[in-house]
Structure 1
């Protein structure tokens, strides 16, 4: 499937580069893998990060309508190896560096991007990749948003690993179906505990 990779705001890229270049600040915030690296660390694969919470309160016909962009995530590479991710947040002044993160999500994000780029569903639809964070369900997903024929193509989600219980990581879903499933689970949980 064709992907149209987003261009981050210059301020977001600059914030991450400044965090990577600042020796006094970086020692305190770098991840273990980044501290062990002897190579040149570089930000790559920028994706806008969107937050969706709580899923149960959004209308079923457009569950992504409540997603709001909160910043950008860059994968931090040492050559071909992904070591971590760097997040920026939107602030009144523009973009500000937030934190570095390691764990399973950076590699899972790269895998989902590669999976989406290699997917041959026969559709000429071009998708804009984004990251979707659904903290109420402990889920992050690669969000593939159609940019030309939105009326004929659905938003797709590829859940990142680890995925929440009942959701298979790296199995693409139509966004409305997956979010409706999560919303039903939320309503059932609220009813059971209420």
Structure 2
């Protein structure tokens, strides 16, 4: 198994670490002030995992069965690690000519542990052991689905591991191939589009335009 990592902008790691440390200082101050339910994070003795590009997949793209490789890249994600394991993820948005990279979010939720667990289990999957991949993260926010994406470097047979917690139509921890994943996502995406008024209106308008072009 070969898993490689893409290279982020030069200061992405610094931004990710600084953002996490700011949150850690906040949790420590809140704990000292007696606030209940605050998870205290360490500010020092932490390291960042190798980065992975973050992509967002939209409902329209799913319904249209667009290649997942066409999904928009939006940032870079790191796991924040201590000697006891992952405690958070820190995500940096992609900069443009007008806007430099900046902190997007620091997450302490359940996807942190499921991401760390999936990474530790990669060698358990025969398909992964025999391939060469680059690690990415795929987010489908409208369906509340988050997926570890193994992008094949010497071909197009990408693999996708669904993270927990997963919506009922996906199996957390399972490896999907692209067609399998889109097959499962298509109906929920279509239903979500139809249940969202402005998106449904856009789809009806698009169909009307196509019909008029054909007449």
Gaps (5+ residues) in structure 2?
31-37, 201-215
Aligned to 1:90: 94
Aligned to 1:149: 155
1:27 to 21, 25, 34: 25
Contact 1:56 1:183 in 2 (8 A): no
Matched, 1:181 2:184: yes
Per-residue CA shift, 1:53-103, capped at 9, x if unaligned?
11555532x431441111111111112411111111113343211221111
Question: Taking structure 1 as reference, are residues 91 and 58 closer, same or farther at Cα in structure 2, changes over 3 Å only?
Answer: farther
The secondary structure found in structure 1 opposite 2:51 is strand
Contact 2:45 2:82 in 1 (8 A): yes
Give the Cα separation in 1 of the matches to 2:193 and 2:103. Answer: 36
Matched, 1:171 2:174: yes
Q: CA deviation at 1:29?
A: 7.5
Per-residue CA shift, 1:12-49, capped at 9, x if unaligned?
11212333455xx753478944x343751222132111
Aligned to 1:53: 58
Question: Taking structure 1 as reference, are residues 122 and 66 closer, same or farther at Cα in structure 2, changes over 3 Å only?
Answer: closer
Matches within 5 A, 1:77-156: 77-92=81-96, 93-121=99-127, 124-150=130-156, 154-156=157-159
Structure (1/2) with the larger strand percentage: 1
Question: Taking structure 1 as reference, are residues 188 and 122 closer, same or farther at Cα in structure 2, changes over 3 Å only?
Answer: closer
Question: What is the root-mean-square deviation of aligned Cα atoms in Å?
Answer: 2.8
Q: CA deviation at 1:165?
A: 1.1
Question: Taking structure 1 as reference, are residues 7 and 118 closer, same or farther at Cα in structure 2, changes over 3 Å only?
Answer: farther
Q: Which has the higher contact order (CA 8 A, sep 6+)?
A: 1
1:37 to 30, 42, 62: 42
Task: State the number of aligned residues.
Answer: 187
Give the Cα separation in 2 of the matches to 1:11 and 1:79. Answer: 24
Tell which deviates more after alignment, 1-10 or 128-137.
1-10
Give the Cα separation in 1 of the matches to 2:61 and 2:115. Answer: 25
Aligned to 1:76: 80
Structure (1/2) with the larger helix percentage: 2
Give the Cα separation in 2 of the matches to 1:122 and 1:66. Answer: 22
